[in-house]
Structure 1
Amino acid sequence: MSSVLALSSVSKSYGALKVTDDISFEIQRGETYGILGPNGAGKTTLFNLVSGDVRPDAGTIHFDGNDIGALAPHKRCVAGIGRSYQVPRPFGGMTVFENLLVGATFGGELAEHAAYDVCIDVLERTGLKRRANQLASTLTLLDRKRLELARALATRPKLLLLDEIAGGLTEPETHELVDEIKRVKEHGVTIVWIEHVVHALLAVADRLLVIHFGKRLAEGSPAAVMDDPEVKRVYLGLEA
């Protein structure tokens, strides 16, 4: 396998607060990589660094073998980095299908005919086909989460960043969403997933990274990481 995303000694501070502290990792093509950590650990900042919403103070970020440090966020999207956000922000006055068209035409830079084909395919893959003509503002939380996923997929990403997409869902809804993410994985999309709903992440992730106060605490197979004494102490609040 070849590396899709590689962070090397990446750091980011806001004043005296170091939110990302010398973080390095590589993600292989087709892999699902989970990121865990307590609130304030720096997880979303990592995503913002990869998507270009913020710039690192130190270190490098390579995507598909290229240094993307100078690329603007929309250029990173066009290059193949798609993401969802923790709080769904659909275009409420547009239909579900129109939301996807925005992703396909602006994020994926597709012509209209090709964009329609991509959007129809994504609607079917994410269970939103029956909602295609429904205004996004009228969707349930689960379907808004699906739309976040679908709009990111409409950009045809090589790398998909999921930011706590299972947050706020009921247990049955979480299982539905996990099944849809598994189907995305089966299509070969590389996924990086930040999540507090640990069992959802464990159902999909090939490897886990745990961070604490911006630092790397543990990395490895899900079983090994969840059995790590420091992870149990810091993240799960358990004594080894």
Structure 2
Amino acid sequence: MSALLRLTNVSKRYGALTVTDAISFEVGRGETYGILGPNGAGKTTLFNLVSGDAKPDEGTVEFDGADVGHLAPHRRCAVGIGRSYQVPRPFGGMTVFENLLVGARFGGELDERAACDVCVDVLERTGLKRRANQLAGTLALLDRKRLELARALATQPQLLLLDEIAGGLTQGETHELVDEIRRVKEHGVTIVWIEHVVHALLAVADRLLVINFGRKLAEGQPAAVMDDPEVRRVYLGLEA
């Protein structure tokens, strides 16, 4: 499996605080790669480094074989990196469909007709068709999460970054969202997913990375990672 995303010795500091410390990993095409870690471990900073919302102090970020470290966020989106954010922030005065059009036109750089076709398809895939003409600001939490996912998908990403998209949902709502993410995976989209809802991540992830204090703690098959004594101690608060 060829790597779509590769980070090599990536470090990010804010003053004296090192948030990510020489982290390296790669994600294969079509893979779902989960990232776990305690609060403050540096997970969202990793996403910011991939999406262009932050720049590394050292190391390289490669996407589809090219160094994208010099590209602005909108250019990374245009070449195929889409992301959601931990707190959904839709354009509340616009409809669900209009929110998707923004993603398709300005993120995916599609013309109007192509953008409309993509948006209709994404509405179907994410269960939002019935909400297409509803103002985004009136959506319940699950549908706001769906919209966050759908707006990222409207940019037609090769790589989708999901930042704690299951946070705040009930168990039943989480199962619904996991089913939708599985369908995204079946369409061949490569996914990197940060999540605190561990059972949701384990239901989809092919491999896991656990980080702590900005450093790699463990990486590998989900069952083996979750059985790692250091992971159980640091992340789960359990003694082996």
Task: Verify same fold: TM over 0.5.
Answer: yes
SS of residue in 2 equivalent to 1:8: strand
Show the counterpart of 1:22.
22
Any residues of structure 2 matched to 1:4-19 within 5 Å, and which?
4-19=4-19
In structure 2, how many angstroms separate the alpha carbons of the residues matched to 1:13 and 1:237? 27
Show the counterpart of 1:61.
61
What is the identity, as a one-letter code, of the residue corresponding to 2:177? L
In structure 1, how many angstroms separate the alpha carbons of the residues matched to 2:223 and 2:67? 32
Deviations 1:85-121 (A, max 9, x none): 0000000000000000000000000000000000000
Show the counterpart of 1:164.
164
Q: TM-score scaled to structure 2, two decimals?
A: 1.00
Say if 2:207 is the partner of 1:201: no
In structure 1, how many angstroms separate the alpha carbons of the residues matched to 2:7 and 2:159? 14
Show the counterpart of 1:79.
79
What is the identity, as a one-letter code, of the residue corresponding to 2:7? L
In structure 2, how many angstroms separate the alpha carbons of the residues matched to 1:194 and 1:139? 23
Q: Which residues of structure 1 form unaligned runs of 5+? A: none
SS of residue in 2 equivalent to 1:117: helix
In structure 2, how many angstroms separate the alpha carbons of the residues matched to 1:93 and 1:16? 41
Show the counterpart of 1:173.
173
Show the counterpart of 1:137.
137
Q: How far did residue 177 of structure 1 move?
A: 0.1
Q: How far did residue 2 of structure 1 move?
A: 1.2
Deviations 1:150-187 (A, max 9, x none): 00000000000000000000000000000000000000
In structure 2, how many angstroms separate the alpha carbons of the residues matched to 1:79 and 1:219? 27
Q: Which residues of structure 2 form unaligned runs of 5+? A: none
What is the identity, as a one-letter code, of the residue corresponding to 2:14? Y
In structure 2, how many angstroms separate the alpha carbons of the residues matched to 1:64 and 1:140? 36
What is the identity, as a one-letter code, of the residue corresponding to 1:55? K
Show the counterpart of 1:222.
222
Q: How far did residue 134 of structure 1 move?
A: 0.1
In structure 2, how many angstroms separate the alpha carbons of the residues matched to 1:146 and 1:175? 13
Deviations 1:38-61 (A, max 9, x none): 000000000000000000000000
SS of residue in 2 equivalent to 1:211: strand
What is the identity, as a one-letter code, of the residue corresponding to 1:104? A
In structure 2, how many angstroms separate the alpha carbons of the residues matched to 1:169 and 1:78? 30
In structure 1, how many angstroms separate the alpha carbons of the residues matched to 2:139 and 2:168? 15
Identity of aligned residues (%): 84
In structure 1, how many angstroms separate the alpha carbons of the residues matched to 2:69 and 2:193? 21
SS of residue in 2 equivalent to 1:185: helix
Structure 1 ranges of 4+ moved more than 2 A: none
In structure 1, how many angstroms separate the alpha carbons of the residues matched to 2:91 and 2:22? 36
In structure 2, how many angstroms separate the alpha carbons of the residues matched to 1:238 and 1:165? 25
